[in-house]
Structure 1
Amino acid sequence: MRFPGGILDGPERELWRRADALFDRLLDEPEHTRQSRLLELTDDPALRERVRRLLAAHARSSGPLDQPPPGLPPPAAALAGQRLGRWRLEEEIGRGGMAVVYRARAEDGAEGQLAAVKVLTLGSLARDGRERFLREQQALLRLRHPYIAALYDAGVSADGTPWLAMQLVEGEPIDRWCARHRLDVPARVRLLLQVCEALDYSHRNLVVHRDIKPSNVLVDADGHVRVLDFGIARTLDGDEAATRTALHALTPEYAAPEQFTGMPPATAMDVYGAAALLYRLLTGLAPRQAAPAGEVIAPSKLLRQRAGERPDPAQRQAVARLRGDLDTILLKALAGTPEDRYPGIAAFAEDLRRWLQRRPIRAHPPSLRYRLRKFASRNRWQVAAGAVLLLLLAGGVAGTVWQMRKARAEAARANALAEESQAQLAYLESLLEMLAPGTEDTRHIDRTRVLAEATARARRELADRPQVLASVEMRLGLLAEELGEYGRAADLFDSALRRRRQLFGDESEATAEALAKSGSVRAYLSPRQPEEVLRRLEQALPVLARLAPHGQARVRALNALLAILAELDRYPQAEARLAEAMAVCDAPAAPEEACAALWANAGAFYQRTSRPKDALPHLERALETRRRLWGPEHADTLVVASRLGLVYAETGDPARGLALLEQVVQAQRRIYERPTRDALPALYMLSRLLAGSGEVERALALNSEYLDQLREVYGEDHPDSALGQTERGTLLFTEGRFAEAAAAYAEGVRIYRLVRSEAGTAIAEGNYADALREQGQAARALPLQYRSLEVLERVFGAGHPQVAARLGNVARTHAALGQHEQALRQYERTLEMYERHAREQQGGDRTAIAYVDAWRARSLLAVGRGEEAVATLRASVALLQDRPQPNPRLENEAFAFLVEAACRTGTGDCAALRAQARERLERPLPGIARLRLRQALAGGG
């Protein structure tokens, strides 16, 4: 096999291949032990001599390996300046036993894009190396995750040299990064959890890494990991024989025991590798370096042994952090047999998160004593407060009041009762926070019963103290709202409002707070009362602005008003209220919890108005605040994360968005035993992203689950049901099931009209018209589409992306009626709107532009402008294919149009394009993409 700079054949080639494998192992050894380790690994003098030459060259280099050893063909100098695929190679930036790595710049596609191009040398000499390499990299191209160094493309040069182009990562190996920043144990665990996220994502895409080690995990300047070198990774659907050929590349210190026996790839190998890496981060040694002969030493025990008889305080503290649960987690993950380890990387990561949160770990044998100890360790104050509150409830509030009256003279009684009231409210607050559905630990508490009993008891025992009772009802109302008990919440808020009006009148902060909450909860009743929501909030806000301008109640009221105004399509009013609320939250000493909810709602508002880049900073700010306040898997944190996942997808990172939403839905399933409004958005958004990635059947199943849960939470005919039905229509449309899509859209129109959402009605009606057109009813569809277009122009403004989308569909209907000149004029207007929006968004996603241009090309073809049509379609297909995660529906539809146009105009590649179309039809595709491809092939040519 030929390589840059020379040829190696026969026994010499095999000898260098074996030397390369040993060299790669020795690079992870401390430098002073490499020679002795080499003597252990082989007794072949010729092999040792070549490994020593590789090690000597490595030692002389200014980088990982700068010059090849004497006698080895030099691959580096010959390639600088050359082109591989679309990449022009620049300077060499690294070299290892199997490859040379160059900085490279793209000359096609995303011009100027930088990459690290890895040119395989000796490693590709393995049996069937080139073919196996190509099969593997095609599978790995689908991995797109924020913690994985992306693989852009791969190939084989004209002289047979395999290469791959990866994301260029500026970072430092994870162990060095931890040491340089002197991270404590929890910080190192949190960093390892990023690695687990990446591996969990790759496993869900059926790819196992199998070589997790410090040099394959870099940390960038922002503290984010990038997992590199899936070069020996295997797909779980690959064949076992091919797997064994890559065995030479594993790193012994971090490889699972079964890898040495040539077992097929399995996720348990990466569980072991991730645990071995964490072991290294916590102890400074890999497990096999700590105990070369056999059983893994518990990390805390290893630290004690290395610290000696007189450990310093830092060493003692590290041992204490590792002892117990963290020892247990690592020993389970590093078990000698796969069945004794965690069932997957997600389970390993979950136990690490539980350790960080001082919650019971799954690896620990279950016992009531252990669980109580863990609960008390993370909730010391709450446990103490709860104990006192239980005593208060057992004795009765009235008994406590009687004792206070008896113990104090009349002159001091008022102050004492005030102090007592505050104490009771503080204790109640602590108990209710523990009862709120925030984490998996509180999943099985019967909150509805507790809430009902607490309400009855408060009203019975505090009847003669209306001020205290009103405050208790407000807090119970907030809890009922969190639990989805909206009728009970409205009753509690209304009762508190009546008491406060009688006590303080309308011009008081306390009354205005109760009025605002009694208003905002009416958005969730069945039937809903949107106008009453507006009326009560508009009454409460002037009072709150005067008496508590920077208070939590004002921010909550503004947030609720923003939501209802946006839902009613009153966008200018909503934006004005948003600006008012933002001014409060940007001021010093702003109420952090209420502002986190506002930032989340601001993100939802900007997303609703097709400004995802404006939404992004608000959602990230909300997520960071909630993670800090409540932890990453609290229910309120997950609500923001779900919204952020969709925005990531809308701003050009669909893989990151999809991975985040998958995590959110899994966590919410653990927390909630029954449907709740907080879990509904994640189901809806995950369904949308799955459809965009081509998993339409799973998207439809989630959509059905979403609609069922909506009915259980809100009853029939809620606005979100209209949204869900409209999305269902789009999923069915994507599958080419146009009659079913029309029925779903019609149901969306019905509900939107019922709840008086003008914009929602217009969008759903326009989509219904699209489904009619695809069923051959273009003449019936056209007036509906013009009515939809008129409404959307009035609501959003003439140049809005929603208007552009509708105008493009109007053009398609004119084309379906044979009115291509009119269709072309409308396509041009549509493209102008999208181009303007992309400029305003500073280089926004151009997918919609390419897709509209593909449809425009069909009309160009129809009016005799064939060459222009073909050129336009080639550009559209290239742009749609060049996305980080191409949309399979849009890309294949555009390709089908290209086949049709190329064959009708007689281009030279008609036959090749038709062959590609037939090959595409053998893949899993959305139904409408299959339909377009079949139509193109049926067109002849």
Structure 2
Amino acid sequence: MTERQAVWAQAASLFDELAERTADERERIMARRTIPEPVRRWLDELLEAHDADRSMIIDRRVDDLARGLAGTGGTPGLEEMSGQQFGPWRARRMVGRGGMGVVLEGERADGRFDMRVAIKVLAPEAVGATAQALIEQEVRTLAGLEHPGIARLVDGGVRDDGVAWLAMEFVEGEPLDAWCDGHRPSLDMRLDLFRQVAEAVSHCHRALVAHGDIKPANVLVDEHGRARLLDFGIASRMADSAKDPGAGSAGRWCSPGYASPERLGGQAPSIPDDVFALGALLFRLLNGRGIRSAPEQTRLLSGREQVEAGDAAARSSKSGDADLDAVVDRALAPDPDERYRSVEALLDDLDRWSQGFPVIARRGGAAYRFGRWIGRHRSLATAGLLAAVALLSGTGLALWQADKARQAAELAERNAQSAQAAQARAESVNRFLLDLFEAEIPDLPPDRMPTTRQLVDRGIERARHPASGSPELRADLLLTLAGILIARKQLDEADGLIAEARGLVDFETHPELAIRLAMLDVDRNRERNRFEDMESSLERATALLERHDPQAIERLEMQRDLGRLYMRREQLDRAEAVLTEVQHAARQRDDADDLQLRLAGDLAVVAGRNGRPERAVERFEEVLRLKRAQSEPSPLSLATTLVNLAGLHARLGDYTRAEERYREVLALLEPFEDLPQGTRATSLTGLADLRRWQGRFDEAETLIVQSAEEWRRVLDLESVDEDFFIHYYLAELYGDAQRFKGAEERIETAIERMSTGQEAPPGRIAEARADLARYRCEAGRREAARQPLEQAREVLEAGESVSLAEAEAACADEPRGAGISQALIERARSGRGDLSRVARLELARAEQLAAGDPAAARGLVETSLARLDAVGAVADHPLLVRARALREKLRQDGG
């Protein structure tokens, strides 16, 4: 037994001995014992939670307690994970800790895009070697769970040091119970939150995933009152699979305040277990307390109390509404067979309650059903009573009223039958899923959870069999299974299942299936890069949603996907029209804040790529406003928008504003100095450009070196010399400073890096070779420039490439400006906007025009001088000296 295990064993033993004793008796007993400090610390916390019935304390610490009591050892080193890298993600700070490991706030490490994630680091000893082998397969499955109520799992893996990790969407919010205690929401609001959670769980079940650890701490409520489900039981499933089933360890990897009796007894997570946990969650929302007290939970954890089948049922819900209590009690039934057969069935019964229909859970008689009808139709019931009275006096109006009341009653009955049919279908789906989880799979030990592939294969086999249900149900199941296969990149097999579903039903008469099919077609075509077909699928999905479910947020998401598809195909005007329309619609909704932010960014990119930097600035300013309006805006997210704005300001010639934005980015990132940031590196490069354009070359070189070091950290390189970045930008700097030998050496190294390990596009390499030829010609080495110039010509198109035009001008006989057209100057101005390059082209063109069109030449010279003056160029800047000399020559030639 390890030292850590010994601590837990002693703490559990002492708690068992002291829990039911008085405070004085405890002190006397502990005074006679030698209790190590770690044991005493945990013992005091257990006893305090036990005495005060502080269930929330137990719930927060359950992972630590469970792991310790199970003897799985400690998690050394996990607390020091801040700053470390997990795949392409880098941790910033620890935000939580549990028995399975720690949770860290993280971000994308390579700077390719900005995304906040929660990185759950799983301790190697808690996960086990067998589970590590399954993690990538499980991650692929869970990453496909797309639902607005689910915090999406985006990545995961196992590092070389054996540490398993999961990266999930970062959610800002409060745990469900704390949010309710602080906001005191109405009953309707509590039930709405519960529905959001239950619908997310139902979505998981349809994807053949059981959550396994539903509790308030795993539901966060954001500032808009939306619930997000997180922390799936993947760790629990892996831990359970790695343990000895005889030890009953499975139950210890769940929360005793919300887990079902069978789960606490050692069974693996299942759909009935999730239904029970949802019932316990609803109990907490309605009654303000949990189904088990803190003393009961601590006794369960220490092994002093066995799980009784009826422990939860013995405390029926007392919310003040008999029907709601009946719903809760059925979900909490000790026997899984007596619970709701599915989450859909539970939600359906809640809907029946809210609409005034009899709830299935109560099983009331005729008087109960009549009372519920009266509650639904008070006005109609009153009208019926008045009609009967009026009938005695022979009033025709009374007969008409009585007939309307009868029709309303018949309609209500038909609605009830429809609801029962929906419940029957939901129970059929749940029975199908339960059969998959409960089925015996050859060569799979009974204590092991099946893999997703095994469940899918079993599901396909059963969905094909007529005994599984109606054709509609089987088609529904086949589409669900096809969606899982698409998410796992098994497209041909998914095609086959979709074809089978088409053969079972006429989709034109089942709009809900037609919508799902259209959305699956979008995913299939996206995965295959069939963008023409993807466009047709998006249009069909959008049209179906418009016709049958126009308020669905998915309709706007489909339209945004269509706009982004046009962006990808360089149909920028068309993309802007679609995205603008979606943005207008999103602004009319209360549930589209995230969508609005993404759309604003899309439209800013469109404007920038469409040659409208002013419009791009306006739209990025809108993105910035939306981000700053958030309750706790992410500094990293703000930095991404600001660095985009800074680049646009520089491109537009607003150099002062550009520098302010770059400085703001660096200030925002100061607290994250230990974490490499692509936005920081980009800001340093932007400031280096400004200093280079000003002719402050030493300062520019310092900033380039700093930026290169930051990119080294981002890319996890051994040395800045490994990357072409520092060589390419220093070559540019030395060329502007007319240090052509140094520029030649640096660009040669950059070409070598781009041609080997980093595999830059051929066009980029050719541009660098053109620059090499220019530096050699500027240094008077025209013969040495011949080969790189020819290599550049083989790839680049004459008249289109600014680099090639500059090289040919530098290497040509007089006049130097031959080949520099006004079109090339405009291309340079609208491209990267490099001031030095633009000024060089303008002056070369002016030199070419000096003899034939001196007025045009003077215009170009004055434009260059104004540009250099705006950036604050120093007096001895080579380009400024050249421009002034040319202006004087033109003045003298003009008399």
Q: Normalized against structure 2, the TM-score is what?
A: 0.42
Mark the structure with the bigger radius of gyration.
2
Relative contact order, CA 8 A, sep 6+: which one is greater? 2
Q: Normalized against structure 1, the TM-score is what?
A: 0.40
